[in-house]
């Protein structure tokens, strides 16, 4: 069967028709005859059949996601973790080795280190910026390499063109978690990645009300991933798929506004550093950023996450975090509301202080996911929190 089972063209608006696509919640659809049922059931024909095997709203979102990445196709899952675990489990087998950075999202690290070994898959960790460590791992043989950039929460960058070429030379598949910088900010497939995965819960949903994930790549890799999803059932439901298509209309506008505000906020935070109020302002769009040149090559802009380090270590960071009045203290990113994260307490709580320091995460670090409130409002909120916690 040549016709892919994921993705479907979005119906064009007609001059008088509804301006948004219908939401189809049916779990099953009646068919004209036994032969049609046989072909649909065997996955030899696409169409409405049974919701777990794919549905119109999900396929619409998949088409949008694939087009945005410049991919042959995309397969949507019920969460980012379902997409990441589904893509890996579909492609690895007993005896394979998977390489994964120490700094990768904690949920991904937990799945890879706790679940994959139960299926006879070897796992090796490397530091995101340690090219020699990755090369050594590749030399021992690897089926799949996970990459994530910008690196959380230090916002250092992995050179995707160089790293994916290195992995390809060793015959390893690269899976890039692009959640932190969706297209048009960063296009991992155009930089040589085999697969890109997103927690669509973040920018793609954009309003803190949808949990979803999506993986995109070439048909050769998407077919087994779609088939695995059919068998294991982690499909995205129609309602969140519909919401994702709705969010799509404002995605570029949101990203542009969030990115412009991030740069303005980062410049303001850098000014606070120069005045001695902050220990560091970290943003790939700042001239002071160590990967600034790479950011200019591989990203369009510096993204929408800004980190900063307060004076006074852990205790002060916690007090500044608690004193924020506009930025919400919430675990996530990419939403219209600005969100603050305290890595030592949340995403990187499982690391010892020494491990955090080795990963370049100082005790006083806070990360802001910049929303749509405007840079002046956010800067005033942070400056006020700093003043009130001196």
With contacts defined by CB under 6 A, name the span among 17-25, 64-72, 162-170, 177-185 that binds ligand PLP.
177-185
Q: How far is the CB of 188 from ligand PLP (least distance, A)?
A: 13
- For the bound state, the minimum distance from the C-beta of residue 80 to ligand PLP, rounded and expressed in Å, comes to 2
Question: Judged by CB under 6 A, how many residues of this single chain contact ligand PLP?
Answer: 12
DSSP string over 343-363: TTTTTTTTS-HHHHHHTT--T
Instruction: Identify which of 108, 191, 122 has the alpha carbon closest to the alpha carbon of residue 157.
Output: 191
CB 342 → ligand PLP: shortest distance, Å?
A: 15
Q: Which residue is nearest to ligand PLP (CB)?
A: 80
Within 10 angstroms of residue 95's Cβ, the number of other Cβ atoms is 10
d(CA 307, CA 390): 19
- Taking CB under 6 A as the binding criterion, the range among 31-39, 79-87, 163-171, 254-262 that sits at the site for ligand PLP is 79-87
Closest contact distance (angstroms) between CB of 272 and ligand PLP is: 27
Contact region with ligand PLP (CB under 6 A), list: 58-66, 95-103, 172-180, 338-346: 172-180
Q: Which of 54, 73, 80, 86 binds ligand PLP (CB under 6 A)?
A: 80
* Rounded CA separation 323/326 (Å): 10
Indicate which single residue of 39, 161, 211, 267 sits in contact with ligand PLP (rule: CB under 6 A).
Answer: 211
Distance CA(210)–CA(212), nearest Å, equals 6
User: Which two structure tokens, joined as six digits, stand for 285?
Assistant: 């769009």
Say whether residue 81 binds ligand PLP (CB under 6 A): yes
Strand ordering across the sheet containing 144-148 = 73-77, 213-217, 195-199, 173-177, 144-148, 97-101, 122-126
Mark residue 7 as left, alpha or beta (left: phi above 0; alpha: psi -120 to 50; beta: remaining). Answer: left
- What's the token pair of residue 379? 């800067």
Give the C-alpha distances (Å, rounded to integers) separating 51 from 24, 26, 57: 10, 7, 10
Q: Does 368 bind ligand PLP (CB under 6 A)?
A: no
Could you say whether residue 39 binds ligand PLP (CB under 6 A)?
no
Contact between 369 and ligand PLP by CB under 6 A: the answer reads no
Among residues 56 and 152, whose Cβ is nearest to ligand PLP?
A: 152
Judged by CB under 6 A, which stretch of 75-83, 109-117, 119-127, 379-387 contacts ligand PLP? 75-83
Sequence-ordered list of residues with C-beta below 8 angstroms from that of 37, at least 6 positions apart, any chain:
31, 49
Position 237 contacts ligand PLP (CB under 6 A): no
Window contacting ligand PLP (CB under 6 A); options: 37-45, 173-181, 217-225, 233-241: 173-181
153 upstream amide cis, omega within 30 of 0: yes
Of the pair 31, 208, the CB lying nearest ligand PLP is at 208
237 secondary structure, DSSP code: P
> Interface with ligand PLP by CB under 6 A: which residues?
79-81, 105, 107, 177, 179-180, 199, 201, 211, 213
């Amino acid at each position: 069967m040549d016709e892919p089972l994921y993705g479907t063209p979005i119906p064009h608006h007609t001059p008088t028709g509804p301006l948004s696509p219908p939401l189809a919640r049916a779990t099953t659809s009646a068919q004209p005859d036994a032969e049609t049922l046989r072909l649909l059931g065997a996955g030899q024909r696409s169409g409405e059949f049974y919701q777990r095997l794919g549905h119109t709203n999900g396929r619409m979102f998949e088409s949008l996601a694939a087009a945005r990445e410049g991919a042959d196709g995309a397969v949507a899952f019920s969460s980012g973790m379902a997409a990441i675990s589904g893509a890996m489990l579909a492609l690895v087998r007993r005896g394979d080795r998977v390489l994964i950075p120490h700094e990768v999202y904690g949920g991904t690290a937990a799945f890879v280190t706790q679940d994959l070994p139960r299926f006879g898959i070897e796992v090796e960790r490397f530091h995101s910026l340690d090219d020699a460590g990755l090369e050594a791992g590749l030399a021992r043989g690897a089926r799949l390499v996970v990459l994530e950039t910008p690196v959380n929460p230090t916002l250092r960058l992995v050179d995707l063109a160089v790293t994916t070429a290195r992995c390809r030379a060793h015959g390893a598949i690269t899976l890039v978690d692009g959640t932190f910088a969706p297209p048009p900010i960063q296009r991992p497939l155009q930089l040589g990645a085999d697969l890109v995965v997103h927690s669509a819960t973040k920018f793609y949903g954009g309003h803190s009300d949808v949990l979803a994930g999506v993986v995109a790549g070439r048909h050769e890799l998407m077919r087994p991933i779609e088939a695995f999803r059919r068998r294991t059932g982690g499909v995205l439901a129609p309602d969140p798929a519909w919401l994702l298509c709705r969010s799509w209309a404002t995605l570029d506008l949101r990203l542009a506004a969030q990115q412009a505000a991030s740069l303005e906020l980062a410049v303001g935070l850098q000014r606070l550093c120069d005045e001695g109020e902050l220990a560091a302002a970290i943003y790939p769009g700042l001239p002071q950023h160590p990967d600034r040149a790479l950011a200019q090559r591989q990203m369009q802009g510096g993204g929408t996450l800004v980190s900063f380090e307060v004076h006074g270590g852990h205790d002060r960071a916690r007090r500044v975090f608690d004193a924020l009045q506009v930025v919400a203290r919430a675990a996530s990113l990419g939403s219209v509301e600005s969100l603050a994260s305290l890595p030592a307490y949340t995403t990187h709580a499982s690391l010892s202080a020494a491990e955090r320091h080795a990963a370049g995460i100082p005790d006083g670090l806070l990360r802001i996911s910049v929303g749509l409130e405007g840079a002046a409002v956010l800067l005033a909120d942070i400056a006020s929190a700093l003043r009130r916690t001196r």
